[in-house]
Amino acid sequence: MKSRTEAVIIGTMNLGEADKIITFFSLDRGRLRGVARNARKSFRRFGAGLELFTHCRLHLFEREHQDLLRIESAEILTQRFSITEDLERAAAGAMMLELVRELAPEGERNPNAFLVVNHILNLLDAGEDPLFLLRIFQIRFLSLLGYQPKLDACMSCGCAPDRKMIFHGLKGGVLCSSCLVSSGSEDPTLSAGAIGFYYQALRMDLDKILRLKPSAEILRELDKAFASHTVHILGKQLKSACFLSTVCS
Ligand SMILES: [Zn+2]
């Protein structure tokens, strides 16, 4: 059966002499993997359409009961060369793609998540602040996949977050200082300003998102909370988090 879909290339791996295994996040069917036969030799069918970050239209062929579908050709819709030209942009972009590979369920359609991925990669390619975009990406993408942390009230007593709250990674939300029984490790804290920024970034139209100007302190607080949140969702550290911290230190 033949089909085609709009997609963003999120992973690529060489296979044998000339083939490639491509992981992509598609508008119609979410995250999928396919083999592109002769991809390293056939410029006519693929061009640069299978490079990481590229937004393309993929022509697919699949048989029932076959694990891997086949990518017959790729048409480029948006090429994103400038992401890999700068270390900080490349590191932020790598973390976005790793989040999609790790969190998007295989074969599950999620058009809103696709639009967020595509839109934020466009902004990254256009040279907007990579670290700011990465935080927006985490806030929006995780929420669309059902991993939104609960920050609008203490998860135990329900009090409003109008003072410093403690982020509890295991529970995926905040507790006030009266309700927290310390886990012994140092839990990240979130100020009312950081929580306010989170909900603005979550709801704001993506076209206007660059108007938000959070302080460096707010971003640091959210980074720590999201690092803890992601580790609890995945049960491990993201590989690209290490690369990012090396680049940004
Ligand atoms: Zn409480």
The phi, psi pair for 181, rounded to 5°, reads -105, 110
Residue 35 pLDDT = 95
Nearest to 174 by CA among 124, 164, 5: 164
**Segment 167-175 mean pLDDT:** 91
The beta-strand segments (E) located in the chain are 2-15, 19-26, 30-36, 55-61, 69-78, 165-168, 173-175, 189-190
Q: What's the number of CA atoms in the CB half-sphere (13 Å) around residue 200?
A: 14
169 Cα: distance to centroid of ligand 1 (angstroms): 16
Distance 190 CA to ligand 1 centre (A): 14
Q: Between the CA of residue 26 and those of 8, 33, 52, 224, what are the distances in Å?
A: 6, 10, 14, 30
Does the pLDDT value for residue 182 go beyond 70?
A: no
Taking the CB of residue 79, how many other CB atoms lie within 10 A of it? 15
Query: How many angstroms is it from 150 CA to the middle of ligand 1?
Result: 13
CA of 206 to the centre of ligand 1 (A): 33
pLDDT grade, residue 63 (50/70/90)?
Answer: confident
Q: Which residues are near ligand 1, the ion (C-beta closer than 5 Å)?
A: 154, 156-157, 176, 179
> What is residue 183's predicted lDDT score, i.e. its pLDDT?
60
pLDDT of residue 150: 96
Q: Is pLDDT above 90 for 199? A: yes
Q: How far is the CA of 162 from the centre of ligand 1 (A)?
A: 11
CATH for 2-79 is 2.40.50.140
184 pLDDT more than 80: no
Q: What is the pLDDT of residues 160-169, one digit of tens each?
A: 998 899 999 8
pLDDT exceeds 70 at position 185: no
pLDDT value, residue 46? 85
CATH topology of domain 88-150+166-248: de novo design (two linked rop proteins) (1.20.1440)
CA of 168 to the centre of ligand 1 (A): 12
Q: What is the pTM of this model?
A: 0.93
Percent of the chain with pLDDT over 90: 80
pLDDT of 242 over the 90 cut: no
pLDDT in tens, 111-161: 999 999 999 999 999 999 999 999 999 999 999 999 999 999 999 999 999
How far, in Å, is the centroid of ligand 1 from the Cα of 246? 36
Say how many Å lie between the first and final Cα of the chain, rounded. Answer: 49
Q: Tell me, what's the pLDDT at 49?
A: 87
pLDDT of the residue at 241: 84
Q: Each residue of 208-225: pLDDT tens digit?
A: 999 999 999 999 999 999
What are the extents of the domains in the chain?
Answer: 2-79, 88-150+166-248
| C-alpha count within 13 angstroms, C-beta hemisphere, residue 228 | 21
* 22-26, 60-64, 174-178: which is most confident: 22-26
Q: How high does pLDDT run on average in the chain? A: 93
67, pLDDT greater than 80: no
Number of H helices, E strands in the chain: 7, 8
